A and B are shown apart, each in its own frame.
Chain A
Amino acid sequence: MKEDDYLNALKRLYKENFASLIRFARRFLPVEAAKDVVQDVFVEIWERGDMRYDDATVRSYLLMCVRNKCYNILKHEQMKEQTLHNIQLKNRLLELDYYVSIEKQIIDDEQMKHIYRRIDLLPDRCREIFKLAYYEDKKSAEIAQLLHLSTRTVEHQLYLALKILREKLTNK
């Protein structure tokens, strides 16, 4: 493959996968670290020069590279902080263990386009509460105060919203 072709292939690979990879990494790492991890994966592919452009496997391969890097970083964190936040880290690692392939992800770029419409289709009360949490990052206690509800009710409605969205996305 010619150098220019190779660079173009990398660019295509990048454009088609960067968003979903960064979305994944940000669930586990702070914004900057997540960006670095994804960039590193592409740089390594470039350096090794073994890029095979095969849509079926390459997406999964990229995600696994990102996942492994996230895993190593969290594992390293875990060793540094013996007790503090250790349980949160354990839950993160458990989560990373779950992602053994791309199929485990339920929101791809295509689904991403419809997610806001799906939120708009939630039942009235559920939608109102979920939007405050989702778009404005409000905590349950704040929403409860705002809408004169109990925190427990808000939590239940948020869970319900997630449950409905999950069913739509996974067809369960």
Chain B
Amino acid sequence: MGNVPEELIVRHLQKTSSDEEEARLHEWLREDEQHVALFCEMREIMHSRNNITDKELSLGWDELSRRISRQMVFRKRIIPVWLRYVAATVAGIIVASSVWFAFRPHTVEEKVWVQNVIYNNNGIQKITLPDNSVVWLNENSKLTYNDHFSGEQRDVTLEGNAFFEVEKDVSKPFIVNTGNISIQVIGTTFFIRSCEEKHTIVTLVSGGINVNHTDADGNRLTLARLMPGQEADYNPVTAECYVKFVDTDYYTVWKDGSYRFNNETFATIARQMEHHFGIKIQLSPQLESMRFTGRIMPEHTIENVMEIIHRSRPIKYRITPSIVYIEE
């Protein structure tokens, strides 16, 4: 190996070289792969001083395991069961994913699907689906969907409440299954509240959706076709579906996790609180035009909110399980 520019290498390692010296070193390095090897090896020796300590090693692992537990994804392979999932509570959010094999008796073909089950038990969780549709899943709600939406339609199953912002794809309808009704979507924003044995309420913010009912024989019946601003209230016991116009503003702010109000009347705020807490508020007429500014956070209970309002204005209130009475 010809002339080695010793001083250039040493100065580089000690970080005392000028730009001009760095340029000369660069030229020399480019001459030959052997030059690069020599240089790299010498730098490695010089830097071996910066070895890490055992303490750094264990601190690093602590940090890594913290980062991992924040996004714990469970993978489990189950053969050949219909659907099972494993779940673990991590920071209040449960994310589960399971793989199962679906055997088709008449073919030898074996298909692998990944079924994602997201159970959210704390706050509102924002989920982006494989087709870029976004779902804001409420507390104590469960969303199930196929990993790639590989079928003819994009099927998701909801138990609980969620706000949907669906990516438009005319060739692949987006279907939300909840209880025995399904909501067929093309590209739209809407909110669903569903509970077993209770009413399912679908509120459409924009776009268009069909609310369908599938009976035991698999026949599908369209119960309602919603227009923006309409809400369908489906009663599974009587199998009746009522449609009415509603104020959709609440749902668009709900997904952001907190409801803010800026110098709004008590009447408006009370209506939003009825939605938010799922209760009735009986507000005395004298208070209706009173104005407030503030916000309701996801962790707030009706008791918290009433106490805050009470602190700022001399009102009287009484909370019963179904109705809140507010008077002057």
State the A residues within 8 Å of B (CB).
Answer: 3, 7, 10-11, 14-15, 18-19, 22-23, 26-27, 35, 38-39, 42-43, 46-47, 49, 87-88, 90-91, 94-95, 97-99, 104-107, 112, 115, 133-135, 137, 139-141, 152, 155-156, 158-159, 162-163, 165-166, 169-170
Interface size class of B (residues with CB under 8 A): 35 or more
| Residue in B9, B23, B71, B74 whose CB lies within 8 Å of A159 | B9
**Contacts A/B (CB < 8 Å), 30 sampled:** A7-B68, A14-B60, A14-B64, A15-B57, A18-B52, A18-B60, A19-B57, A23-B48, A27-B44, A39-B63, A46-B68, A47-B73, A49-B73, A49-B75, A91-B12, A91-B29, A95-B40, A98-B36, A98-B40, A104-B37, A106-B45, A112-B48, A140-B11, A140-B14, A155-B10, A159-B4, A159-B9, A162-B10, A163-B42, A165-B45
**For the complex, is B316 an interface residue (Cβ under 8 Å from A)?**
no
**For the complex, is B328 an interface residue (Cβ under 8 Å from A)?**
no
Q: Which residues on B sit within 8 Å (CB–CB) of A26?
A: 47, 50
Residue ID in chain B nearest A163 by CB atoms? B42
| Residue in A88, A94, A162 whose CB lies within 8 Å of B46 | A162
Complex CA gap A90/B38 in Å reads 17
Q: Which residues on B sit within 8 Å (CB–CB) of A97?
A: 36
Complex CA gap A35/B62 in Å reads 13
Q: Which residues on A sit within 8 Å (CB–CB) of B61?
A: 11, 14-15, 18
**For the complex, is B51 an interface residue (Cβ under 8 Å from A)?**
yes
Complex CA gap A99/B36 in Å reads 10
**For the complex, is B30 an interface residue (Cβ under 8 Å from A)?**
yes
The answer to whether A166 touches B51 (Cβ under 8 A) is no
